[in-house]
Amino acid sequence: MVTNIFPNPFRPGAGHMPPYLAGRDKEIQDFEDLLVQEVIVNNLILTGLRGVGKTVLLDTFRPLAIDSKWLWAGTDLSESVSISEEKVVIRLLTDLSALTSSFVISSKEQIPFGFNTSSHIINHYLDYDTLTHLYESIPGLVSDKLKALLELVWHCIRDEGFSGIVFAYDEAQTMSDHAEKEQYPLSLLLDVFQSVQRKDIPFMLVLTGLPTLFPKLVEARTFTERMFRVMFLDRLEESDIKEAILCPIQKAECPVRFTDNAISEIIKSSGGYPYFIQFICKESFDMYLQQIKVSGETHIDYRKAIEDITRKLDNDFFAGRWAKVTDRQRELLQVIANLSNSDEEFSVQEVVAAAKSLPKPFSSSHVNQMLSTLTNAGLVYKNRHGRYSFAVPLLGQYIRRQQKEIIKRKGQLDLFPKQ
């Protein structure tokens, strides 16, 4: 089979490492600079929309840290970790024990008895059971116990030649405090790391998440602004997009090539977002090989191909999110999508003004309330300047395509002309 002779080099997926990481040299250099801090004064927030490659870049940072003699702990966070302060403690101890369980913290010689004339050494390791026992034996509040434990851990391993420990957590925007339950897991995490770092303990916190992450951290603890360096991942530049398209093919020595026209269409359709680049390239590659297999034809009408690929992308990436939105929320999102600045950022006032022609306009208070709900749903986010943006890349284009399909099917006039 042709597909076995020429395997597809592109890998779209949630956090899948692409065959070539394009356009992130500056971010890699910035992270390497953080690794040489003598005292940890800067932690890292890695943020951006879905599909920009946050998880991929985080996975790229890991071997760089290990090569610089840092230990690396971490995983994906979930809402369950944020239920209580004790859940955060369990998460940290679990991840820490995976690194420290081979370290011997004490040894004891067992004295022979009976007919046994030989003695042997019993080692006690810094494993999860030991960490838990130590944590529970420390007096004080949860934060006191955790600070003391982390300090003890560093005391046990600091002479082993390590630079420190990176605690790296993806999807960190899922964490939050719960004042109504008197549980402050997010504040606990920030307080503890700030405290141990003030004691020159090299434990660095790396948090990855959607753009809602940093405002949430600042709301929990205002010192967050001075504690973190924020790395915002944006779409790729055109030259980097071309590298992301061409380098995997060259690396695989694949005979399939994209024409200049095809590359231009991919650049336009992907918007420069790494996930979309991988998705469109993979589908294009498969389409080409399938056509060769069926008809032997080696030329593809790429404009038509992009339409088919876009339709598949809509079903695979956007449709599930759109299905969870109420009818009234869809009306609001349609208004936003047809603003001239919808792909950048917009204000409540702009949305209210654009919605005046609707049979049921939106008031300013209603728009604020609905945007808050859509923010919690991960569809929009509020930046630090009090304006909003779509949290899903190219969502505005998807919404406009849906409107055109409705108009085409029903023969209706466009109720939302481009502002």
Buried b (16+ CB within 10 A) or exposed e, 354-378: bbeeeeeebeeebbbebbeebbeee
Query: Could you tell me if 47 and 40 are in contact, meaning their C-beta atoms sit under 8 angstroms apart?
Result: no
End-to-end Cα separation, the chain, in angstroms: 51
Which single residue is written with the structure tokens 């980097």?
240
Asked whether residue 48 carries a pLDDT value surpassing 70, the answer given is yes
- Report the pLDDT averaged over residues 72-95: 92
The residues of the chain that CATH labels 1.10.10.10 are 324-410
Asked whether residue 312 carries a pLDDT value surpassing 80, the answer given is yes
Contacts of 214 (CB under 8 A, 6+ apart): 45, 47, 224, 228, 230, 384
The residues of the chain that CATH labels 1.10.8 are 236-320
DSSP state of 315: I
**DSSP per-residue letters across 390-408:** ESSTTHHHHHHHHHHHHHH
Minimum mean pLDDT range among 209-218, 219-228, 285-294, 409-418: 409-418
The helix (H) or strand (E) run that includes residue 198 is helix 185-198
* Strand pairing class (228-232; 203-209): unpaired
Beta strands (DSSP E) in 196-236 are 203-209, 228-232
Amino acid at residue number 107 = S
- Report the pLDDT averaged over residues 53-73: 96
Predicted local distance difference test score (pLDDT) of residue 116: 57
Predicted local distance difference test score (pLDDT) of residue 2: 43
Q: Which two tokens stand for residue 365?
A: 């208070």
| Rounded Cα distance, 240 and 217, in Å | 32
Residue pLDDT, tens place only, 1-11:
344 457 888 98
Tell me the torsion sign for CA atoms 66, 68, 73, 77.
negative
Asked whether residue 58 carries a pLDDT value surpassing 50, the answer given is yes
DSSP state of 91: H
Q: Which two tokens stand for residue 224?
A: 């967050």
CATH 3.90.1150.180 corresponds to the domain 25-97+141-232:
no
The residues of the chain that CATH labels 3.40.50.300 are 25-97+141-232
Query: Could you tell me if 204 and 158 are in contact, meaning their C-beta atoms sit under 8 angstroms apart?
Result: no
Asked whether residue 292 carries a pLDDT value surpassing 80, the answer given is no
Contacts of 8 (CB under 8 A, 6+ apart): 282, 285, 286, 289
Predicted local distance difference test score (pLDDT) of residue 7: 81
Phi and psi at residue 53, to the nearest 5°: 95, 30
Return the CATH number of the domain spanning residue range 236-320. 1.10.8
| Rounded Cα distance, 345 and 343, in Å | 7
pLDDT bracket for residue 119 (50, 70, 90): low
Asked whether residue 39 carries a pLDDT value surpassing 90, the answer given is yes
DSSP state of 183: B
Query: Could you tell me if 240 and 23 are in contact, meaning their C-beta atoms sit under 8 angstroms apart?
Result: yes
Q: Which two tokens stand for residue 213?
A: 């992450």
pLDDT: is 74 or 419 the higher one? 74
Minimum mean pLDDT range among 204-218, 263-277, 372-386: 372-386
Predicted local distance difference test score (pLDDT) of residue 417: 56
| Rounded Cα distance, 417 and 334, in Å | 10
| Rounded Cα distance, 318 and 223, in Å | 37
The helix (H) or strand (E) run that includes residue 317 is none
Asked whether residue 299 carries a pLDDT value surpassing 90, the answer given is no
Which single residue is written with the structure tokens 């955060």?
88
Amino acid at residue number 213 = L
DSSP state of 359: S
CATH value of 324-410 in 1.10.10.10, 3.30.750.24, 1.10.3720.10, 1.10.10.60: 1.10.10.10
Contacts of 321 (CB under 8 A, 6+ apart): 378, 379, 392, 395
Residue pLDDT, tens place only, 230-239:
999 999 999 9
Query: Could you tell me if 66 and 72 are in contact, meaning their C-beta atoms sit under 8 angstroms apart?
Result: yes
